[in-house]
């Protein structure tokens, strides 16, 4: 099984390995680490990082002493992860090209599974269910899953912030996103992402429960801070950066505004 060819092509040309180092993506990175730090078991627990790209989260976890297994569908990104891994004092334990719907890990072999991107590009509900059931299979009893999703409203808010809505092609994309979450970049514009599915918070919650997870909760990652037109300047100011982060924390579980975050993080536990 492979993702759609346009998705693989997107990650061949897009520098996903450096995305989280610039712009408002730095807020996504900081907040995701913060949330994961609260819910993951202590090292040296085994963590499977599914869709972990070139290993941004894997290297961070390995440095803390976790036994990390990285799986990603992109050969290029796994190759990049291998290059970086060779220089690490505490390396990632294994790096594998694979699909979230058919993981190489054995049953009940991990204390935590991160699904930090595959659900973006599994546009079929059945495929998303298969991927979540694979995470469930790999988890040991009491294991934790953390699943990233793009908010249903991300393109509408991003378009407004960056004036992308001046382009009729983008407006068409946005309008379909809002109707059914099915994101299609038929224009091939480099700023308009690739084939994806955008979740409503309640739908991500339901998908995790349907896959068998319990104690499910969905949190907003960035809050509204990612939309600030002067984000870069504020992020470089310690007091203003603190304000952005504190606002995200304050709103992360407020159901009425969860979808304002560009990304959602679903947390669940395997209790059987």
Cα angle 57, 62, 66 (rounded to 5 degrees) comes to 110
Same domain as 217, residue 177: no
- Confidence label for 233 from pLDDT (cuts 50, 70 and 90): very high
Are the beta carbons of 141 and 108 closer than 8 angstroms? yes
Same domain membership, residue 264 and residue 166? no
* Residue 11, pLDDT score: 85
Count of domains observed in the chain: 2
User: What is the C-alpha separation between 108 and 267, in angstroms, rounded?
Assistant: 18
Is 181 found in the same domain as 252?
no
pLDDT digits (tens, 9 = 90+) for 89-127: 999 999 999 999 999 999 999 999 999 999 999 999 999
Same domain, 96 and 225: yes
What's the CATH number where 54 sits? 3.40.50.150
Whether pTM > 0.85 for this model: the answer is yes
| Residue ending a domain, choose from 198, 227, 254 | 198
Going by C-alpha positions, the residue among 263, 129, 139 that lies closest to residue 209 is 129
pLDDT at 18 over 90: no
Residues 64 and 144 grouped into a single domain:
yes
221 and 129 within one domain = yes
Residue 253 and residue 243 share a domain: yes
Per-residue pLDDT tens digits for 204-225 = 999 999 999 999 999 999 999 9
Is 16 found in the same domain as 75? yes
189 and 225 inside one domain: no
The predicted model gives 177-198 an average pLDDT of: 96
Do 122 and 166 reside in the same domain of the chain?
no
Secondary structure, 3-state, 100-151: CCECCCCCCCEEEEEECCHHHHCCCHHHHHHHHHHHHHHEEEEEEEEEEEEE
Residue finishing a domain among 198, 226, 261: 198
Q: What's the DSSP call for residue 251?
A: H
| Domain containing residue 168 | 152-198
Please check whether residues 61 and 137 belong to one and the same domain: yes
Q: 42 with 125, same domain? A: yes
């Amino acid at each position: 099984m492979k993702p759609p060819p346009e998705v693989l092509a997107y990650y061949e040309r897009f520098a996903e390995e450096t995305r989280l180092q610039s712009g408002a993506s730095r807020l996504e990175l900081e907040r995701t680490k913060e949330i994961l730090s609260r819910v993951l078991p202590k090292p040296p627990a085994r963590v499977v990082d599914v869709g972990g790209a070139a290993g941004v989260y894997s290297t961070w976890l390995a440095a803390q002493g976790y036994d990390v297994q990285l799986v990603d569908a992109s050969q290029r990104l796994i190759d990049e992860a291998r290059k970086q891994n060779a220089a690490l004092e505490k390396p990632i334990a294994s790096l594998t090209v694979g699909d979230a719907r058919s993981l190489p890990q054995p049953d009940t072999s991990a204390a935590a599974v991160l699904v930090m991107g595959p659900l973006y590009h599994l546009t079929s509900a059945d495929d998303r269910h298969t991927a979540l059931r694979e995470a469930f299979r790999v988890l040991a009893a009491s294991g934790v899953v953390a699943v990233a999703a793009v908010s249903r409203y991300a393109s509408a808010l991003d378009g407004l912030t960056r004036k992308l809505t001046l382009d009729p092609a983008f407006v068409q994309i946005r309008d379909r996103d809002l109707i059914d979450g099915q994101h299609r970049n038929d224009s091939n514009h480099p700023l308009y992402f690739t084939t994806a599915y955008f979740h409503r918070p309640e739908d991500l919650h339901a998908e995790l429960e349907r896959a068998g997870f319990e104690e499910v909760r969905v949190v907003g990652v960035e809050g509204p801070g990612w939309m600030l037109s002067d984000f870069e300047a504020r992020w470089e100011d310690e007091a203003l950066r603190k304000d952005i982060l504190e606002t995200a924390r304050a709103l992360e579980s407020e159901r009425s505004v969860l979808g304002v975050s560009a990304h959602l993080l679903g947390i669940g536990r395997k209790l059987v």
